[in-house]
Chain A
Amino acid sequence: MPELPIWQFDVLLLILVVLFAVVALSIRNLMGAAVVFGAYSFMMCLIWAGMGAVDVAFTEAAVGAGVSTVFVVSTLYNTGATMQRRTGGLTFKLFIGVVVTVAGAFLLSALPDFPKWGAPDSPVNATVAPYYILNTFEDAHVPNIVTSVLADYRGFDTLLETTVVFIACIAIYSIMRVDKAKLETDEPAIVAAPRYDPSDSLIVRQASRFMVPFMQLFALYVIAHGHYSPGGGFQGGVILGASLILLAISFDLKFLLRQWSEKTLMLLVAVGVFLYAAVGLTCMFMGGDYLDYGFLDSILPGEKDMARSHGILLVEIGVGITVMFSMIAIHINLASNGRFDRGL
């Protein structure tokens, strides 16, 4: 058996997660499937916490509880589809089932060749990872190894991932966004407008009004304290985005759009990536390589290792801005059907 610190939990949760996956796919009501899929992500968060991956667990917690289920719900809200059609193609499903089972059997046949679960000397754990573990603190003065590897050692990777989030936001924008005037002449909107009723749910609105400042404060703490505890730009950005999505849900979309216009949102999505790239370029101007924060020591306080620590913080802020506003822009596009006026 593996000797992970809490392997009992891990084994049980791994079995439970398969159950959740099967349940989420077998429920024919689409809302039910979306809701159970949210719980699936809770279980995944627990598994990652159990395997010692706290940053990943944090990201999954923020994404699963805050945004991903809300995206599915807003899509269902705008389309009005409720039930999955009972299709007759049982033979087709069985055929696919056989194909998938054979593929799975092929994959499982390689099982004895894998390193044991939790072996410290497996190829993954023995090649480059020990360097990060042993040298992070002298190099960058960051106790959280994940943060330093994320933003410093593998800074290019994170830059491109941030760009991918940015591109996904642009893609959703170009798929969904429609001109309001054009839509009215072409075809009626599929969903009639829900009337904003001030007496609708006072409790929900007041509770959200109370919670949102705490969420934003906590998110800023997560970004700033990411050097010493789990957290960083991705987690903090998602929590910030989720707090504004909560406002949009519990009040209405107009409430959000009064504060953040379309133009501001898209500008800020770009500003985050730009900040990241600009920090890298500044390093080049100071005489180093791209994203080599050590050369920022003449403009940032402290020695070379502290300069790297501060550079990581700047980069994380850029990531946070991009992720936050991408999540908000994606939610507004999905919830309002690209019309940017009203929605979930």
Chain B
Amino acid sequence: MENLIANFNYVIVVILMMIGLWSMLAQKNLIKKCIGMAIFQTGIILFFISIGAKDNALIPILTEAANHTYPVSDASKVANPLTQILMLTAIVVGVATLGVALALAQKIYQQHSSFDEDEILENERK
């Protein structure tokens, strides 16, 4: 139980990822699958960001107003920038891949007039 509270972020990460995975596997609708993919992705991004957060830390922008002196002396008072930049690019790439997925879904709809997986398979067999 103590672990559960101290590592609450990982619990939410796992829940989000599993919700996304369930949606991708069990939902028959292609749009819902796309949304599930995006949710899975945000789960992973949340994992990276939350391991980069530090206790009592400030945001990774050095300003004089926040009593930062250039150069910084204590690295533990600034949140981890590395995980943030990895995920920053991942979000933009994520929206581009969401676009690719939606384009494929749109083409499939033009062929089969349906987003439903079962109907598409039926149409294929005909």
Contacts and interface: CB of A to CB of B under 8 A. Distances in A.
Interface residues of A, number: 112
**Chain B interface size, under 10 / 10 to 19 / 20 to 34 / 35 or more:** 35 or more
Given A55-B88, A104-B14, A124 B4 contact: no
Interface in B33-78: 34-36, 38-39, 42, 45-46, 49-63, 70-72, 75-76, 78
A287 interface: no
B6 interface: yes
Contact of B54 (A99, A107, A118): A118
A112 B35 CA distance: 31
Interface stretch (A164-172, A196-204, A209-217, A246-254): A164-172
Interface of B: 3-12, 14-23, 25-29, 31-32, 34-36, 38-39, 42, 45-46, 49-63, 70-72, 75-76, 78-100, 102-107, 109-110, 114-116, 118-119
Q: 10 nearest interchain CB pairs?
A: A168-B96, A130-B75, A3-B55, A52-B79, A120-B76, A96-B26, A161-B89, A104-B18, A145-B81, A330-B99
Interface of A: 1-5, 10-11, 14-15, 17-18, 21-22, 24-25, 30, 33-34, 37, 40-41, 44, 47-48, 51-56, 59-60, 63, 67-68, 71-72, 75-76, 78-79, 81, 84-85, 87, 89, 92-93, 96-97, 99-101, 103-104, 107-108, 111-112, 114-122, 124-125, 128-130, 132-138, 143-146, 149-150, 154, 157-158, 161, 164-165, 168-169, 171-172, 175-176, 190, 228-230, 232, 234, 238, 323, 326-327, 330, 333-334, 337
